[in-house]
Amino acid sequence: MRITTTVNGTEHEVDDVWPGESLLYVLRERMGLPGSKNACEQGECGSCTVYLDGEPVCACLVAAGQAQGREVRTVEGLADGDRLHPVQEAFVECGAVQCGFCTPGLLIAAHDLLARVPHPSDLEIREALAGNLCRCTGYEKILDAVRLAADRQARS
Amino acid sequence: MGDSPLRPDGTLKVTGEFAYASDLWHDDMVWGVTLRSPHPHARIRRIDVSDALTVPGVTTVLTADDVPGDNAFGLEHADQPVLASEFVRYEGEPVALVAADHPETARRAAARIRVDYEVLPAVTDPLRAMDPDAPPVHRPGNLVRHLKLRRGDQTATAPVVVSLDFEVGMQDQAFLGPESGLAVPAEDGGVDLYVATQWLHVDQRQICLALGMEPERVRLHLSGVGGAFGGREDLSVHVHACLLALRTNRPVKMSYNREESFFGHVHRHPASMTYEFGAERDGTLVYARARTVLDGGAYASSTAAVVGNAGTLGLGPYRIPNVSVDAYGVFTNNPPCGAMRGFGCVQAAFAHEALMDELADAVGLDRVAIRQRNGMQEGDRNITGQVIDSAAPVAELLQIVADLPMPPERSAESDLRSLPGAVGNTTHGEGVVRGVGYAVTYKNIGFSEGFDDYSTARVRLEMTGGEAVATVHTAAAEVGQGLITVEQQICRTELGVERVVVHPKNTAVGSGGSTSASRQTYVTGGAVKAACEAVRAVVLERAAGLLGRPAGDLRLDGEKIVGLSGEVLTGLGEVLGDDAVEETVEWRHRPTHAIDPETGQGDAHVQFAFSAHRAVVDVDVELGLVKVIALDTAQDVGKAINPDAVVGQIHGGSAQGMGLALMEEIVVTDGHVRNPSFTDYLIPTILDMPPMQVKVLEYGDPHAPYGVRGVGEPPTISSGPAVAAAIRAATGKPLRRVPIRPEHITGT
């Protein structure tokens, strides 16, 4: 089937999509946007988190057909050209990125949290990011990064 | 050196541009999938692939008959078939391969391969597998290694005796980036493999044997690695992707899904341990006796070396004059086990630390004091008779964690989300009790028992656009820990050049050894340092020729050549001109030695690293739920080349140890894995991890480059036993098995 989806502001038309393909597969393998990651493809780890019409979802759990005519925003669409989003900057600066496989999903989840709750408490950060597994960092520096991004957003 | 520059791959990783192995793509590429055995043990009578070949879109189907070289691989012993031909020995063993134009096509075709199995009884109890009359998983016998360690008086007795049995379940590395690779056939008949791995050259050696091809034609390139933790030391997609690429003459991508990842890599060895300590009435250890059985699963992998650690380091960082240890690794028809962060020391630490708590109670000492009384000090001999010839701050590390501020007591106003059960709203605090636990460890760094543990570095210095540029080329795998940054930092320090390019990692340079055993900053760092020194010596020789002065009177300072009193004599650009200076160095740490097979005595290890943890837990004794409130640690890292990366390793390593204590286990019954998914195999989330206080000591090791001491593994070893101890302290239950499950706490 043919699917037309707007991804990061650009309309993508993709042919020959199987009904069983996930949005994640179509983004990664058919649109050349591998930023969203394929760690579990079961909706358990959050590494494929993207915005679908402004709502964070696990792209692995969305059938590609469900994205027809809708707006997707992935990690590739967070930066403003060469200028990193404050959440991205904070992840790099705080050492919240080690292997980085969980990072794209965490960035979307953190970005969404800070849009809804500009000054989250630690418990609010933990609740918001509990669906995103990270195996490298022990999460301490991820918390640091979200706190720093919140501070920067408040100042800007 | 000693500051924390931003990692060069950080920006790529936050923008989604960093290419992990599963992101690779090639024109005209096809997808490979693996058909795996559903049986833990069976004889293969016949394989019929004809039906699979009729599926539209299928390019090829391969079985064991299509393996051109040795149908066997393995890290230490080549005992594992590339594709099973006669027998399958564990559930998930690869049997056949399919390549097709879509991964789903390949999976459907694989399901149409008919394998006629004669199911055989499976050997799944490692203790029974040791019986001489147990059916052999391989011939002859099921013993991979028996390590005997005898020191001092074997008949020693003591007035205070404590003993226990302890079990550790099977933990998984659970790296997030799945096993993936892209094999591209080359014009010379060889193959280029882009793959996520921990050691390119040991992969290359095994692939060459299986393909029957010389190393020049099998070129490996490190792709982006999404975590490793030991699970990428053994081969996964490597040979399979190459076989398919060479057969189809098309680029082949393989990428496991999460379920297949659980079958596609080795796990941490489950352990059964029986320990006994004898001590004076003041708590001073007199003797230790220990017996450890590690379930190696169906193939050897690195079991022999894991047994080495479980034996030689298996009594912890304590001074014990009389010792008798037997450590065994055995074959079973369970999933193969091999390397995972902490490598044999993790299992042992649960036993020796639980026993130290018993001993403390028996002699009336507190749990810090009993460890301090018996803790190793510099100059002591360990249980293999090796002198600890650098800092051994056991007592100090314990004191530091004991003195760190405690988390606030829980009160009626505390947020419910901080209770056990977290956001599940399972309790309002009734039945919740608090406990505190301590643990300490020491871990060998680098490869031991006489292994030729080296790394190779090529460093090139040249002028580009009027600026000095150094290029560092090693084959040492960056798996997320930050090695690339450390290579840059060392090169900047040694050559004073600001612009340092780290060359992509591949087999075009000599081996960097494994990214494991906490060894890369030490060994590859040592190699980079040595290669920089060699480059500097050539530059100064050249400058000496130009200036007519002895090279010994010259120094390289940034981009200038200066004399003894610091006067600038000429510029680096003048010395180099259009010529690059390039030096390649193989660097080795101090040799280690095999241990005596009868006594286990010998200088087996090159370096030791020490860490201590204090855990504070709240336990809901009615529901059996645990919330770790604090997990604080102190570790001696010798020298923190990159302090942020060091602390990051300590955080992450502590989380993995905590995970094993509380929730992480591959459940295997009758040889079948029951939970191969992130739904059922639980790893700590951000809600499970407590805040951590980390204190880093820097007692430089005089024998190591810059004094570094390996960092990555110790936190995984001491955090778990501290958590287990805290739960025992809270509940008063003995809890002799990890992970500690709710039913262990509630007794139901």
Q: What is the ipTM of this complex?
A: 0.98
The answer to whether residues B337 and B295 touch, using CB atoms and an 8 Å cutoff, is yes
The answer to whether residues B702 and B602 touch, using CB atoms and an 8 Å cutoff, is no
Of A44, A74, A134, which is closest to B16 when you measure between CB atoms?
A: A74
Mean pLDDT of B362-384: 98
pLDDT at B417: 83
B508-544 residue pLDDT tens = 999 999 999 999 999 999 999 999 999 999 999 999 9
* CB contact (8 A) between residue A97 and residue B13: yes
Of B104, B226, B229, which is closest to A20 when you measure between CB atoms?
A: B104
* Residue B2: pLDDT over 90: no
Confidence tier at B416 by pLDDT (50, 70, 90): confident
B685 to chain A: which residues are within 8 Å by CB?
130-133
* CB contact (8 A) between residue A75 and residue B14: yes
* Residue B304: pLDDT over 80: yes
- Calculate how close chain A gets to B186, using CA atoms only, in Å: 24
A32 to chain B: which residues are within 8 Å by CB?
25
pLDDT at B186: 97
Confidence tier at A20 by pLDDT (50, 70, 90): very high
**Long-range CB contact pairs, A46-49, < 8 A, 24+:** A46/A102, A46/A105, A46/A106, A46/A109, A46/A131, A46/A132, A46/A133, A47/A101, A47/A102, A47/A104, A47/A105, A47/A132, A47/A133, A47/B176, A48/A24, A48/A104, A48/A105, A49/A104, A49/A105, A49/A106, A49/A108, A49/A109, A49/A131, A49/A132
pLDDT at B558: 85
Question: Average model confidence (pLDDT) for chain B?
Answer: 97
Strand partners, B165: B274
Mean pLDDT of A58-75: 98
pLDDT at B413: 80
Mean pLDDT of B670-691: 97
Residue B146 exposed, middle or buried by CB count within 10 Å (0-12, 13-18, 19+):
middle
Confidence tier at B316 by pLDDT (50, 70, 90): very high
Question: Average model confidence (pLDDT) for chain A?
Answer: 97
pLDDT at B138: 93
B631-645 residue pLDDT tens = 999 999 999 999 999
Mean pLDDT of A148-153: 95
A132 to chain B: which residues are within 8 Å by CB?
685-686
* Residue B422: pLDDT over 80: no
Confidence tier at B28 by pLDDT (50, 70, 90): very high
Mean pLDDT of B718-744: 98
* CB contact (8 A) between residue B15 and residue A91: no
* CB contact (8 A) between residue A107 and residue B14: yes
A114-150 residue pLDDT tens = 999 999 999 999 999 999 999 999 999 999 999 999 9
| Binding-face residues of A in 10-49 toward B, CB within 8 A | 18, 20-21, 28-29, 32-42, 44-45, 47
Mean pLDDT of A15-36: 97
Kindly compute the dihedral angle of the four CA atoms of residues A129, A135, A139, A142, in this order, to the nearest 10 degrees.
-70
* Contact A93/B at CB under 8 A: yes
Confidence tier at B184 by pLDDT (50, 70, 90): very high
* Residue B318: pLDDT over 80: yes
* Residue B140: pLDDT over 90: no
Cα-trace Rg, chain B: 27
SS3 B181: strand
Strand partners, B628: B617
Confidence tier at B322 by pLDDT (50, 70, 90): very high
- Percentage of residues in chain B with pLDDT exceeding 90? 95
B11 to chain A: which residues are within 8 Å by CB?
84, 88, 92
* CB contact (8 A) between residue B22 and residue A38: yes
The answer to whether residues B257 and B34 touch, using CB atoms and an 8 Å cutoff, is no
Mean pLDDT of B554-580: 93
- Percentage of residues in chain B with pLDDT exceeding 70? 100
A42 to chain B: which residues are within 8 Å by CB?
258, 677-679
User: Which residue of chain B comes nearest to A45, CA vs CA?
Assistant: B678
* CB contact (8 A) between residue B18 and residue A100: yes
Cβ neighbour number for residue B187 with a 10 Å cutoff:
5
* CB contact (8 A) between residue B480 and residue A98: yes
